[in-house]
Amino acid sequence: MRITTQGEYGLRLAMDLAEVYGKSPRTVTQLANFESLPRDYIQKILFTLKEADIVKSTRGKNGGYQLARSPQEITIKDILQVLERETFEVFCRDPDRGLTCTHLRDCGLRQVWITIRKNTDLVLGSVTIADLLDDERLVRQRLQSLWLQPQPSAELVAIA
């Protein structure tokens, strides 16, 4: 798993927009200044997030960017899949995803990679942008609850 700066800043921008959700939009300049990044870089990320209906833009004097949905409806996984394409890339044969490996024999390593991907997706899909605005201690507790008391519909995948 590798998260690029684009993925990292996409999450930070979503958090910035979540803080003002339901209020005035933020301009690219405001977001760029807040994150100390070039406007062009912020604009590129926002364009990609807009294409995926994660953010929306408004033109005009009071225009700018806002989240397209509530921060409680947008997960870390939603954003990373848009900006990174994969949360954990598996190059093995994975019939669920139509991938085939160059190694023709059975390989125990494949099951490790698939299990990591499924668990990574579970964790990233269960943490919303709204959760990230909470105190760090609360975020840690939320993540620990996934391991200590998994939900029946979202159990962590055990390695057999």
Query: Would you say 63 and 27 are in contact if contact means Cβ atoms under 8 Å apart?
Result: yes
Q: What is the CATH number of the domain that holds 101?
A: 1.10.10.10
Q: Is 45 exposed, middle or buried (0-12, 13-18, 19+ CB in 10 A)?
A: buried
Domain carrying residue 49: 5-154
19 located within any domain: yes
Taking the C-alpha atoms of residue 101 and residue 109, their distance in angstroms, rounded to an integer, is: 12
122 located within any domain: yes
Residue 104's pLDDT is 54
Side chain identity, residue 78: D
Side chain identity, residue 41: Y
Residue 151's pLDDT is 46
Taking the C-alpha atoms of residue 53 and residue 67, their distance in angstroms, rounded to an integer, is: 8
Taking the C-alpha atoms of residue 16 and residue 27, their distance in angstroms, rounded to an integer, is: 11
Taking the C-alpha atoms of residue 18 and residue 129, their distance in angstroms, rounded to an integer, is: 7
Residue 98's pLDDT is 61
117 located within any domain: yes
159 located within any domain: no
How far are the Cα atoms of 20, 78, 131 from residue 157, in angstroms, in the given order? Answer: 36, 20, 23
Q: How many domains does the chain have?
A: 1
Residue 150's pLDDT is 47
Taking the C-alpha atoms of residue 2 and residue 87, their distance in angstroms, rounded to an integer, is: 8
25 located within any domain: yes
108 located within any domain: yes
To 5 degrees, how large is the angle CA 94–CA 98–CA 101?
A: 55
160 located within any domain: no
80 located within any domain: yes
Q: Compute the residue count for the chain.
A: 160
What string of pLDDT tens digits covers the 160 residues of the chain?
678 889 999 999 999 999 999 898 999 999 999 888 899 999 999 999 999 999 999 888 888 999 999 999 999 999 999 998 876 666 665 556 565 666 656 677 777 877 888 888 888 898 999 999 988 888 888 888 776 554 445 455 554 4
Side chain identity, residue 1: M
